[in-house]
Amino acid sequence: MRTKVAVIGSGNIGTDLVIKVLKRSTALEMAALAGIDPTSDGLAKAEKLGVPVTAEGIDGLTRMPCFADVEIVFDATSAHAHQANAEVLATHGKRVIDLTPAAIGPMVVPTVNLHEHLNAPNVNMVTCGGQATIPIVAAILKITPVPYAEIVASIASRSAGPGTRANIDEFTETTAHAIAEVGGAKRGKAVIVLNPADPPITMRDTVLALVDAADTKTHQQIRDSIEDMIAEVATYIPGYRLKQRVQIDPVQQPHTLTEEPVTHQVTVLLEVKGAADHLPAYAGNLDIMTSAALRVAETMAAVVRA
């Protein structure tokens, strides 16, 4: 038996989630899509595919006949809207996968810490930049402590919709916090760049990590750990790849970004190409969120059915 799921938010991310559940998942059943704009393309597309829809948001969703059987709800609205949605869904006993930067529940990156939060009632998918880069920080941490990590997420301006633009501040704050809390760095920083290039660029992410690792054996262990992590992430995001060989370069001591002793900077350049299920392939920033959320829901469903 498949686990029934619903999506709140009929924008790009919500619509892509609907398509992914219908097209790719053998564990989940798409029960409903809720939006607030009756003229939205997402609601029209979902209805055409046979998915029950409502344009009355969370209130409309709770009144739908199918809602009683829904076990997991994806929230693809905004950080502000999720505050209210989470309260309503909690009263109904629904598990929530939050794709906004609200971070009410624990932040989850599938390859890093999903196993710790499989029974949480509300989990947060951090941000696109966090999903792309936190696995790399965690991979470095497996070999050596990371006193400081900084990420730069560059995405096509065309792939940044109203929700993304409205949540820029939350994006940087949530991602920086998650680099430390989930990735394990002692201190984190995040930057997002909206690139207006035409044709649009594919999502690119840069990870800069300061480490105290002077010997070449440790350098190779770091590279191997990063490559292993990339291969693991690529099992659910096939377009996730290393853009060039991991660079490990000496730095001057003491370093201005950390009081701890560091000897080298690890530089990792990534590219994230979308699966183009609903969104264009260049919108890897959106695809990585929906793909990661899908993996979380399927893993949760498997645990419940076990």
Confirm whether residue 166 is marked as ligand binding.
yes
Whichever domain contains 211, its CATH number is 3.30.360.10
Q: Is 66 a catalytic residue?
A: no
Instruction: Quote the CA–CA distance of 249 and 239 in Å, as a whole number.
Output: 27
What six digits make up the tokens of 30? Answer: 């798409």
Same domain, 97 and 181: no
Instruction: Quote the CA–CA distance of 11 and 16 in Å, as a whole number.
Output: 8
Same domain, 120 and 48: yes
In which domain, by residue range, is 79 found? 3-125+287-305
Instruction: Quote the CA–CA distance of 267 and 149 in Å, as a whole number.
Output: 10
Q: pTM value? A: 0.95
Do 71 and 32 form a contact (C-beta atoms < 8 A)? Answer: no
Instruction: Quote the CA–CA distance of 240 and 270 in Å, as a whole number.
Output: 7
Same domain, 12 and 110: yes
Report helix, strand or coil for 209: strand
Whichever domain contains 24, its CATH number is 3.40.50.720
Same domain, 101 and 178: no
Is residue 118 scored above 90 in pLDDT? Answer: yes
Q: What is the pLDDT of residues 243-268, one digit of tens each?
A: 999 999 999 887 888 889 999 999 99
Q: What is the pLDDT of residues 167-180, one digit of tens each?
A: 788 789 989 999 99
The one catalytic residue among 51, 126, 128, 288: 128
Q: What is the DSSP string of 36-98?
A: S-TT-HHHHHHHHTT--EESSHHHHHHHSGGGGG--EEEE-S-HHHHHHHHHHHHHTT-EEEE
Is residue 288 scored above 80 in pLDDT? Answer: yes
Overall domain count for the chain:
2
Same domain, 158 and 221: yes
pLDDT of 134: 98
Residues comprising the chain, all counted = 306
Same domain, 106 and 158: no
pLDDT of 160: 83
> Cβ contacts of residue 211 below 8 Å, gap of 6+?
140, 144, 145, 146, 147, 222, 262, 263, 264, 265, 266
Same domain, 75 and 116: yes
Confirm whether residue 85 is marked as ligand binding.
no
Same domain, 54 and 172: no
Instruction: Quote the CA–CA distance of 140 and 147 in Å, as a whole number.
Output: 11
Q: What is the DSSP string of 47-63?
A: HHTT--EESSHHHHHHH
Same domain, 276 and 146: yes
Same domain, 137 and 227: yes
Report helix, strand or coil for 291: helix
Confirm whether residue 13 is marked as ligand binding.
yes
Is residue 162 scored above 80 in pLDDT? Answer: no
Confirm whether residue 154 is marked as ligand binding.
no
What six digits make up the tokens of 79? Answer: 């950080």
Is residue 41 scored above 90 in pLDDT? Answer: yes
Confirm whether residue 122 is marked as ligand binding.
no
pLDDT band at 306 (very low <50, low <70, confident <90, very high): low
Instruction: Quote the CA–CA distance of 97 and 284 in Å, as a whole number.
Output: 19
Same domain, 136 and 270: yes
Same domain, 187 and 255: yes
pLDDT of 265: 97
What are the CA-CA distances from residue 229 to residues 81, 136, 162, 225, 288 (Å)? 33, 7, 32, 6, 15
- β-pair partners for 147: none
